[in-house]
Amino acid sequence: IDAALSDGPLKGKHILVTSGPTHEPIDPVRYIANRSSGAQGTAIGAALAALGADVTFVTGPADVLPPQGVDVIKVQTAAQMLDAVQSAPAADAAVFAAAVADWRVANAGDSKIKKDGSGLPTLEFAENPDILATVSQMTVGRPKLVVGFAAETDDVIANATAKRLRKGCDWIVANDVSPNTGIMGGKENAVTLISDAGAENWPRMGKEAVATALAKRIAEALA
């Protein structure tokens, strides 16, 4: 480890990060998923590690490679992501940047669904566990700082503020992912940091810059 990094403000802190989408199987060859490149979560993992944190990085099948210098745990489904999060060592802070599929296919099977003339398949859905809410509401061993994301359209701040209270996390990083913003799939992000102190609009900047700013705020909160 680089001496400069091991001296960072997050030295000795363990931080859990979730990133990327989850894939929920329909059959062995098909799945449903959220749209997520994993770029923002990966940048956050890298920024936290750069400040000296020990990072456990739980990632679904992302488009981008996981950051260097973190402990990577690869998962496919939301259920696996929850298991990995619950099996990770106790964390000082946790950042939930993953775009977790809200539903899994309850009638997923081991046999490929065939176009055999017997009609269209019917998928039955079951709701996935809410990983962020589960960790936010832990009564024993809850991280001191729990940070969620809220990718919203329409009433972004109101939706994200309600989401923070409903889930019980400390901060929510909200962003407007309406198609006209060009945020989804892009290199930039324009976020609002919502805490019990209110909503703070950050200027639009690169995802790495958002990650660095967030990592610095986390370091201040844990200091």
- C-alpha gyration radius of the chain: 18
String marking each residue 164-203 x if it binds ligand CTP according to CB under 6 A: ----------------------------------------
Catalytic residue status for 34: yes
For 205, the enclosing helix (H) or strand (E) is strand 205-206
Residue 128, binding choice from Ca ion, ligand CTP, none, Cβ under 5 to 8 Å by partner class? ligand CTP
Task: Write down the least CB distance from residue 148 to ligand CTP, Å.
Answer: 4
- Which position has the token pair 């990094």? 5
**What is the phi-psi region of residue 20: left when phi exceeds 0, alpha when psi lies from -120 to 50, beta otherwise?**
left
DSSP of 101-130? -SEEETT--SSPP---SS------EEEPP-
Instruction: Select which of 34, 107, 159, 201 is catalytic.
Output: 34
User: Is residue 102 annotated as involved in ligand binding?
Assistant: yes
Give the nearer residue to ligand CTP in terms of CB position, either 83 or 113.
83
Sign of CA dihedral 185, 166, 155, 191: negative
Asked if residue 159 binds Ca ion (CB under 5 A), the reply is no
CB count in 10 Å sphere of residue 154: 8
Token duo for residue 138: 């832990």
Specify burial of residue 21 (Cβ count, 10 A radius: 0-12, 13-18, 19+).
Answer: buried
Residue 131, binding choice from ligand CTP, Ca ion, none, Cβ under 5 to 8 Å by partner class? ligand CTP
Task: Write down the least CB distance from residue 115 to ligand CTP, Å.
Answer: 31
Asked if residue 150 binds ligand CTP (CB under 6 A), the reply is yes
Token duo for residue 129: 């566990």
Q: Which of residues 54-113 bind Ca ion (CB under 5 A)?
A: 102
Selected binder of ligand CTP within 58, 132, 211, 214 (CB under 6 A): 132
Give the nearer residue to Ca ion in terms of CB position, either 24 or 92.
24
CB count in 10 Å sphere of residue 69: 17
Task: Write down the least CB distance from residue 216 to ligand CTP, Å.
Answer: 20
Report, as residue numbers or ranges, the catalytic residues: 34
Binding residues for CTP: 102, 112, 129-132, 149, 163, 167
